[in-house]
A and B are shown apart, each in its own frame.
Chain A
Amino acid sequence: MTHSLHREGTISSLERDYALFIYPARGFNYNGSGPKVRRIMELLYLEAPSNMIVSTLRRNLYSGVRPEEVLESIKDGARIYSAFNNREKLKEALVGIKKLDEGISVVVSGLIDQVREMAAEINLNPHTINLSLGIHGRTDRLPPPDIRQFTTMCGHGMVSPALVRDVIRRIKKGRLALWEGSIILAAPCTCGIYNPHRSQEMLHDLVPLYTVNRW
């Protein structure tokens, strides 16, 4: 799964956007992983991520799901997907996960320079990197970059460009607040890695510039 690898936007915006994943490995440390992942999930709740989902429930932080329900759903093989809008909060979470020492794989998607610094600060030795070499083929058919900075926060393509335009239009008309619009855009991402805090900032910047008649 490479779905967090192609988040687009300016460097200053990406500095406030990290995806964090907890993955048991099928056929390796999968059996018995449930209680370990649950302990990590409990810790993550305290670190207030921008968004989070467990693969056994797939309901994001803003769906109204109760933390107890989420924790109870965790069984062997469950994965956690989350998004952070703040480097220091993510660092705190990583310090805690390192201390728990559950032996489960932890992956961060974010600016390489920032992750390098963070890893050095908390004495981690990153193991493997997945680099994106960009988009190829009929790039002329893509939605424009300002829309892609929203849609690529869901790497599975569940956040439709038409929905981004629709939300912008409704905010412009005064029918939606920025945060409400952000939550609408976060909902289709069933991995819970859409970062609604970053999205709110982007909407704030974009709404005055955009003219949208109809999606």
Chain B
Amino acid sequence: MIIRQEICVGCGRCHPYCPTHAIHFQDLKSAVDQEVCYECGCCLRAEICPVEAIEDSPQVYDYPRALRKYFSDPNATHALTGIQGRGTEESKTNDVTLRVGPGEVGIAIEVGRPNIGMNLTNIQKITRALARAGIHEIEPNNPFQDMIQDHSTGDLKPELMGERVLSAIIEIQVKRDRLRHILRTIKEVAREVDSVFCLDVYTLLEPGLTVPPEVLEIIESEGLSWRPNAKINLGLGRAWERKNS
């Protein structure tokens, strides 16, 4: 994002809208620190500027900077996947797609969430740790895939190392017996990461909204706990309408 200096009146109204403090005063006007800005679009969408000095930067869709927008602005449609957002449909359409089936779990590492974001060198710490631990089952349909240069090492494309994103999701889908190993690996790499990430596990339910005890036991035995609120697919999708589109 840019602020047109010749128009800005330095009222400061746009500052609190920026989730990452990229907007600051400079010579009685406001300016956007291009290094810090995620291109999330919050300041522009707020329509708060009395003189319309806030504009998309001409470089916003240039590669690799464009990744900032694709992974930070929920309204941006990713050029590769044609999908708005960071992830796939994971659990939310699972009653139709059965992507995560019996005996399987999905794991999502939501890097940068909540609030803080992350530069891609930090995300590479996670992908490298996963690769070193022999975890290569990263969801192929997630736009994050496109950042990876070498699956065997977890290296991201070198030209991305200067970029930062507000959130990206690494999704992994495995048999349940791999869950313990993966949680352990993620817990270890958490110490190296200079930001935050949220960790999720999704699984089929047993009758009566019962989470499979085997899954809970693995989570607990790794010293982790689950929040009292969760995202629950109510099973109203009709799987027999599959593949009609």
Contacts and interface: CB of A to CB of B under 8 A. Distances in A.
Interface in A105-148: 105-113, 115-116, 119-120, 124-139, 141-143, 148
Contacts of B100: 128
B131 interface: no
A108 B92 CA distance: 9
Given A29-B96, A94-B234, A126-B205, A160 B16 contact: yes
A131 B197 contact: no
Contact of A1 (B89, B211, B233): B89
B245 A32 contact: yes
Interface string A152-187: 100111111111011000000000000000000001
B200 A5 contact: yes
B205 A127 contact: yes
Interface in A85-101: 94, 97-98, 101
B236 A134 contact: no
A163 B199 contact: no
A121 to B, nearest CB: 12
A104 interface: yes
B46 A187 contact: yes
Given A5-B200, A27-B243, A158-B19, A124 B235 contact: yes
Contacts of B114: 6, 135, 142, 148, 151-152, 155, 157
Contacts of A6: 113-114, 198, 227
A160 B203 CA distance: 32
Contact of B245 (A11, A31, A124, A138): A31
Contact of B95 (A11, A128, A131): A128
B237 A103 contact: yes
A26 interface: yes
Contacts of A130: 90-92, 106, 108, 200-202, 230-232
Contacts of A156: 74, 166-167
Contacts of A148: 114-115
A160 B38 CA distance: 13
Contact of B196 (A26, A137, A163): A137
B201 to A, nearest CB: 5
B192 to A, nearest CB: 9
B245 A28 contact: yes
Interface string B155-199: 000000000001101000000000000010011001001111111
A148 B115 CA distance: 9
A142 B116 contact: yes
A30 interface: yes
B75 interface: yes
A213 interface: no
B209 A105 contact: no
Given A5-B231, A98-B236, A116-B208, A25 B90 contact: no
Interface of A: 1-7, 11, 14, 19, 21, 23-32, 55, 58, 94, 97-98, 101, 103-113, 115-116, 119-120, 124-139, 141-143, 148, 151-152, 155-163, 165-166, 187-188, 190-191, 215
Interface of B: 15-21, 40, 42, 45-46, 74-75, 83-87, 89-97, 100, 106, 108, 110, 112-117, 166-167, 169, 183, 186-187, 190, 193-205, 207-209, 211, 219, 224-238, 241-245
